[in-house]
Structure 1
Amino acid sequence: MGAAASDPPLTPGGSSTRPVPSSDEADIDSITRANPAPQEPDNPDFTYPERLYGDPPTNNHTDIDTLIIVCCHAIFHASPSDSNFPLHSPTLESNWHLAPFQQSNARTAKPGEHTTFLAHITRGLDLLSTSPTSLLVFSGGHTKPTLTSLSEAQSYYNAALAQALSHSPDHAENLQTLFDQHRILLEERATDSFQNLLFSLQLFRQQTGRDARHVLVITHAFKTQRFLKLHAQALGWAGDRIRVEGINPPFSADELDEVVRGEERACREWEEDALGEGEVLGAKRRARGWVEYQSSSFGEV
């Protein structure tokens, strides 16, 4: 769901020179109302593929200026095509493909991290419902091809739909309407946090014909520095135009220490390899289903 593999490479640049809003309010709608979307590309430091840059928008989203990204981290394996789909609750850990470190542990009373993923989904949908100038992107690729053909992004939407059905058919219908109106989009290629941001920015431009004026990333709180200080700057998207709303799993003291150490290692890897194409980060992508024909170099996506 993005540019074709033949597109010319993207080039990372510096920070945006466009004025940013002075408001510190957390409410997205109040910010975006005061800053209407530009009608022309407004970030000269972020170079899009030529085909994307010149094509007309896919949809008539003339008022949309805000991108909400929900970064996906696992796969809810139920599908709406299943006859018993309404019986598959996303609140049950058994309905998710979780990595070992994401699973619950009865000995330590650690809960499964699927509950955190549902919190990310719910927060994204809440923001979308209160901000008529926003698009919501679920971002996550086919990271478990040996287990399922579902992408993380598709599975998050399915989880949202299952959750809505548990409330009422009307809730599910409202969600489906947002999807049909392309207010909810699926970015199904990303295999890491850098690609979550990059491919979602591209998808927003495909849909609207312009850059997002405001970007809000919903992910784990411990990844805030990674997005703001590393990924955004590598893409020339620094400054107040991008924010992170972090929701962590519940940690014990030992778990928190381990996560902090792991994130420090990850940030060092991204500092040394900002585009994620080197030996270490490239290997992680391939382990999550990324294949070389999808991108022989940065930007050929």
Structure 2
Amino acid sequence: MLPAPVSFAKRGGYRRSRNALNQRRIDVLLSRARITNLGLLLLSAVTVISLLYNVSYVFAPTRVSLGDFPGPRRFSDTIQRDASVRQLSHLVIVPGHAIWKGGDPTRILNEEDWILESYQKGGGRVNAFYQHIKGGVKLALEDPRALLVFSGGQTRSASTFTEADSYHRLAVESSLLPLGFLRATTENHALDSYQNLLYSIARFHEYVGRYPDYISVVGYEMKRERFENVHRKAVRWPSKQFRYIGVDMEEQNGSAMQGELNNALIPYRKDLYGCHPPLSTKRRNRNPFYRYHSYYISAPELAGLMDYCPEAGLSTVFDGPLPWDRL
């Protein structure tokens, strides 16, 4: 049996009641809000706190999450420094120039056991590399406060070694350094001489837990001007706390000096931080395996300096705070 039809009168009353309910809702929405002073204060406080939190998040230093960087949440949990290491204060740098691929210490001076650029062949360059290593080892063994850092990245596509690794391995294989010597390490990311200096300082902090008080560099004599008066100036390291020990090739020639002048010294004087061509182009060409360093994490005080790049043509020196301003 079908239900009885609803009368027009009842339908009309239903519509009027719905219209009245809707009208009351509109009246409530349009009526003046009533809020106490306390309520207004609480709402304002919540708004300000939320705003400050968001601003601090946006402008905070870059965070490293476990999803971005697999590993322990606290990197310091993986490090337990020997007491003798924590007392080190003298950084000894040996910049790398090539990669030793050999395994026989009696063939160290054989060019076939090295990965060399064409201009590095002949003229006694390999012996110069070996003398640089010996000089750095000598300084480290003479000074119990010294940390020897071999510096140089994986610059050649023909080798899985970094320049620094090969120098360190050569020093051990030739018995210059005892195996397991804690006051010698590698800096495996530098792609040029400026980075040899800056990244070795960062590596010292990563290894020791503090920044050095004194720096010695053992390298080519013809690069003395570049290190003493260009790179040292760029990182604002005090001259009284810096020493350069030069060892040149047996057969020094004019072409090597001219190459140093045209390809490095003059360009670096115009571009202290090597962040514009042609110097920046060299860095990219020397990084065939797309490596990048960890020093933003292990030496965060140097982030501003590592990122600094004045406009092309300007030799403006970085003026931000640096840990060695106290020296």
User: Which protein has the bigger helix share?
Assistant: 2
Whether the aligned pair in 2 keeps the contact of 1:57 and 1:207 (CA below 8 Å) is: no
Are residues 243 and 57 of structure 1, via their aligned partners in 2, closer, same or farther at CA, if it must alter by over 3 Å?
farther
**In 2 relative to 1, CA 58–234 (structure 1 residues): closer, same or farther, beyond 3 Å?**
farther
Name 2:139's counterpart in structure 1. 127
* Amino acid of the structure 2 residue aligned with 1:75: I
- Paired with 1:244 and 1:87, the residues of 2 have a C-alpha distance of 27
Aligned to 2:172: 161
Which residue does the alignment assign to 1:100? 118
Residue type at the aligned position of 2:96 = C
Structure of greater Rg? 2
C-alpha displacement at 1:218, in angstroms?
A: 0.5
TM-score by length of 1: 0.67
Residue 57 of structure 1 contacts residue 209 of structure 1 at CA under 8 Å; is this kept in 2? no
Q: Secondary structure at the match of 1:160?
A: helix
**Correspondence for 1:261:** 258
The corresponding residue for 1:114 is 126
Q: Tell me, in whole angstroms, the C-alpha distance in 1 between the residues paired with 2:274 and 2:81.
A: 29
Displacement of 1:249: 0.5
Identity rate, percent: 28
Correspondence for 1:299 among 293, 296, 306: 306
Alpha-carbon distance between aligned partners in 1 of 2:86 and 2:261, rounded to the nearest angstrom: 41
Q: CA deviation at 1:175?
A: 1.6
Counterpart contact for 1:58–1:206, Cα < 8 Å? no
Asked whether the equivalents of residues 91 and 146 of structure 2 are also in contact (C-alpha less than 8 Å), the reply is yes
Query: What is the distance in 2 between the residues matched to 1:142 and 1:294?
Result: 10
SS of residue paired to 2:128: helix
Offset, 1:184: 0.6
Q: Which residue of 2 aligns with 1:226?
A: 226
Secondary structure at 1:210 match in 2: coil
What is the Cα deviation at residue 238 of structure 1? 3.0
Alpha-carbon distance, 1:177 to partner: 2.5
Q: 1:271 to 1:291 in 2, by over 3 A?
A: farther
Task: Pick the aligned partner of 1:143 from 148, 155, 158.
Answer: 155
Corresponding residue of 2:96: 72
Relative contact order (C-alpha < 8 Å, sep 6+): which is higher? 1
- Aligned to 1:217, the other structure's residue is in SS state strand
Quote the Cα distance in structure 2 between the aligned partners of 1:231 and 1:258: 23
Contact 1:67/1:216 (CA < 8 Å) preserved in 2?
Answer: yes
Residues 68 and 87 from structure 1, CA distance in 2 versus in 1: closer, same or farther, beyond 3 angstroms? closer
Equivalent AA in structure 2 for residue 103 of structure 1: K
Superposition misfits of 4+ residues, deviation over 4 angstroms: 56-59, 290-293
Q: Shift of the alpha carbon at 1:98?
A: 1.3
SS of match in other structure, 2:239 = coil
Instruction: Give the root-mean-square deviation of aligned CA atoms.
Output: 2.9
What is the one-letter code of the residue matched to 2:286? R
Q: How far apart in 2 are the matches of 1:300 and 1:227?
A: 20
Aligned pairs, number: 224
- State the 1:222 CA deviation: 0.7
Distance (whole Å) between structure 2 residues aligned to residue 205 and residue 196 of structure 1: 14
- Per the normalisation by structure 2, the TM-score is 0.62
Question: In structure 1, what is the Cα distance between the partners aligned to 2:249 and 2:133?
Answer: 14
Unaligned ranges ≥5, structure 1 = 1-6, 9-50, 79-84, 105-109, 165-170
Name the CA distance, whole Å, in 1 between partners of 2:273 and 2:82. Answer: 30
Alpha-carbon distance in structure 1 between the residues aligned to 2:166 and 2:275:
27
1:90/1:240 CA distance change after superposition, 3 Å: same
Shift, 1:260, TM fit: 2.5
- Look up the match of 1:236: 236
Match of 2:179 in 1: 176
Q: Extract unaligned runs of 5+ from structure 2.
A: 1-60, 63-73, 294-302, 309-327
Flag the 1:87–1:237 CA change in 2: closer, same or farther, 3 A: closer
Structure 1 residues 115 and 87 mapped into 2: Cα distance closer, same or farther (>3 Å)?
closer
